[in-house]
Structure 1
Amino acid sequence: MTLASMPLTTDRPQPRRRALGDWLPRLVLAPSFAAVLLFVYGFILFSIYLSMTSSRLLPVYDFIGFGNYVRLFSLPNWWVALKNLAIFGSLYIAICCALGLLLAILLDQRIRAEGLIRPIFLYPMALSFIVTGTAWKWMLDPGIGIAQTMHALGWESFSFTWIKDGEMAIYTIVIAAVWQSSGFIMAMFLAGLRGIDGEMLKAAQIDGASAFQTYRRIVIPQLKPVFLSAFVVLAHLAIKSYDLVVAMTNGGPGRATEMPSTFMYSYTFTRSQMGVGASSAVIMLMMISAVLIPYLYSELAGKARS
């Protein structure tokens, strides 16, 4: 066989091109991964370390153990913040889930205006909590909001001063937060409802089950994953709520709407107690982890079983 009759092979560089193609996505993602590693997890570790130092106005790197945590839980303001978070979080999650499920069930009836109504309920979620808080602050202000409008319309006895009342101000935060988030929860439940097998519902109707019995025994039990997802989303929003509170009440009147997030900011940047502020931030991180880690574990365990 002569050299002229031998076939020419031009695929030698191909393995090199394949290797470059394999590494290209990693090279593209590497800067983002490094930034997340440094500015998210790196600063989380830094905050944990600061919580165990005597840092005040500026970081100090002397290790004092859990002294800041002991001091944190001895502060009355921290317990007020935890109490307000418990009230706000429980009402926020319960009302959003109930209202979102109700709206989803109503929209699932294949009404004609669904395409128009659904975006109307979803629109508040597109707004930032700063915008929502500012708008609701104006609406609930007795001098310029709903109360003043009712007085102008002739209803002189109308009074709604919750936002100025130390006992009721926390509930105005709940109202604004529910208004913003219930549409998103409605969309989650609506997706869950649309995923239920229609044959099961038809079989229940043939067996003579009422609409209430069908939803109570068939539909709602199958929405447990949606309830869990909604709980996780709402719980982490409640724990880290800051901008809505600052925009509406700034933690007031007095400490009536103080939250762990506003407590952390004030002690870190206003009162120059960086160690105590960092310890409160770590407690908030532990709260969020207590919600997210069981959820992620259940999801991963479910995928492993399947």
Structure 2
Amino acid sequence: MARAGDVDFKTKLQHWIPKVVLSPSLALVLLFVYGFILFTVYLSFTDSRILPSYGWVGLENYSKLWRLSHWETSLKNLGVYAVLYISISTVVGLTLAIFLDQKIRGEGILRPIYLYPMALSFIVTGTAWKWFLDPGIGLEHTMHLWGWESFEFNWIKDRDFAIYTVVIAAVWQSSGFVMAMFLAGLRGIDSEIMKAAQIDGASNWNLYRRIVIPLLRPAFLSAFVILSHLAIKSYDLVIALTGGGPGRATELPATFMYSYTFTRNQMGIGASSAVIMLMTIAAIMIPYLYAELKEDK
């Protein structure tokens, strides 16, 4: 028979082994994620330029930031991009989810096709859509070769429409992921509720409008949080697709932060823009996490 001391030792060992194994990863996360976040916050209050400096300037960088027309332009672009990206991705994702929820043939083939774009990096997506939308080699050129000489689609070169090309590429990549979230929500709805509503004579439109969509509220909230986070930190897609141009037509806060930190050698201003982006994401994430934790309790 095993001794009581041996049992206690094994119990303690099983309790501490996961903590010992995970502690290096936890230490690295604390250092390279949260440690550098705090360092960035500190730099935003210093006179750092090409290299970190420790001359304290208080809120001067934030004051300079809000006086820059480039920053104002990036915020306006973000407003247009985020509203269109979130709303269109949500509508397309919900539509695809409802379509697949009808138990159609070939669902097993269509589902991975819709999800495939999310498996690509935003760099690949941006590069592919850049080629596709380029008037010289893409869609417009192909249409001209096919004899449709009057066809024009040069949004990627137009200051007024370039931001919409970023929306198109982002929606193409993310809508399949949103579809998967809504499909999981649809499959989680009690079928008895649906049957009862149909027996009561509810049309399909009223069924979805009054029962299904309200029950998908958690999926809507999760989709909004994830898409908002992706919109605020969009950098690689913009750089690969338009490079922030033409001019500053597609500059977003993320590209502004990079250019002022590493190109214009204004690290303090770049850090302050990064802090504002972090605060915006936190303003979205914290209420969501609070609501989730409150619901669990």
Instruction: Give the TM-score of the pair, scaled to structure 2.
Output: 0.98
Which of 130, 133, 147 is the matching residue for 1:137? 130
Which of 27, 32, 35 is the matching residue for 1:34? 27
CA displacement 1:223-271 (0-9 Å, x = unmatched): 0110000000000000000000000001000000000000000000000
The answer as to 2:51 corresponding to 1:58 is yes
Which of 235, 246, 251 is the matching residue for 2:244? 251
| Partner of residue 292, structure 2 | 299
The answer as to 2:7 corresponding to 1:14 is yes
The answer as to 2:261 corresponding to 1:240 is no
| Partner of residue 5, structure 1 | none
Quote the offset at 1:207 in angstroms: 1.1
| Partner of residue 106, structure 2 | 113
Q: Aligned partners of 1:214, 1:10: CA distance in 2, in Å?
A: 63
Aligned-pair identity in percent equals 67
Quote the offset at 1:63 in angstroms: 1.2
Quote the offset at 1:209 in angstroms: 1.0
| Partner of residue 180, structure 1 | 173
| Partner of residue 37, structure 2 | 44
Superposed counterparts of 1:219-234, under 5 Å:
219-234=212-227
| Partner of residue 165, structure 1 | 158
User: What SS class does the counterpart of residue 50 from structure 2 fall into?
Assistant: coil
Q: Aligned partners of 2:14, 2:189: CA distance in 1, in Å?
A: 42
Amino acid in structure 2 at the alignment position of 1:260: P
Q: Aligned partners of 1:18, 1:121: CA distance in 2, in Å?
A: 47
The answer as to 2:273 corresponding to 1:274 is no
Q: Aligned partners of 2:16, 2:187: CA distance in 1, in Å?
A: 41
CA displacement 1:150-209 (0-9 Å, x = unmatched): 000010110100000000000000000000000010111011111111111111111111
CA displacement 1:7-31 (0-9 Å, x = unmatched): x874533322322221111100000
Provide the aligned C-alpha RMSD in A: 1.0
| Partner of residue 69, structure 1 | 62
Q: Which of the pair has more CA radius of gyration?
A: 1
Which of 186, 193, 199 is the matching residue for 2:192? 199
Moved more, 21-30 or 168-177: 21-30
Q: Aligned partners of 1:105, 1:186: CA distance in 2, in Å?
A: 9
| Partner of residue 283, structure 2 | 290
- Runs of at least 5 residues in structure 1 that lack an aligned partner in the other structure: 1-7
Instruction: Give the TM-score of the pair, scaled to structure 1.
Output: 0.95
| Partner of residue 88, structure 1 | 81
Q: Aligned partners of 1:232, 1:80: CA distance in 2, in Å?
A: 24
The answer as to 2:186 corresponding to 1:189 is no
Which of 92, 96, 121 is the matching residue for 1:99? 92
Q: Aligned partners of 2:58, 2:105: CA distance in 1, in Å?
A: 63
| Partner of residue 144, structure 2 | 151
| Partner of residue 263, structure 1 | 256
Moved more, 15-24 or 111-120: 15-24
CA displacement 1:119-171 (0-9 Å, x = unmatched): 10000000000000000000000000000000000101101000000000000
User: What SS class does the counterpart of residue 144 from structure 1 fall into?
Assistant: coil
CA displacement 1:19-73 (0-9 Å, x = unmatched): 2221111100000000000000000000000000000011111211110000000
Moved more, 233-242 or 11-20: 11-20
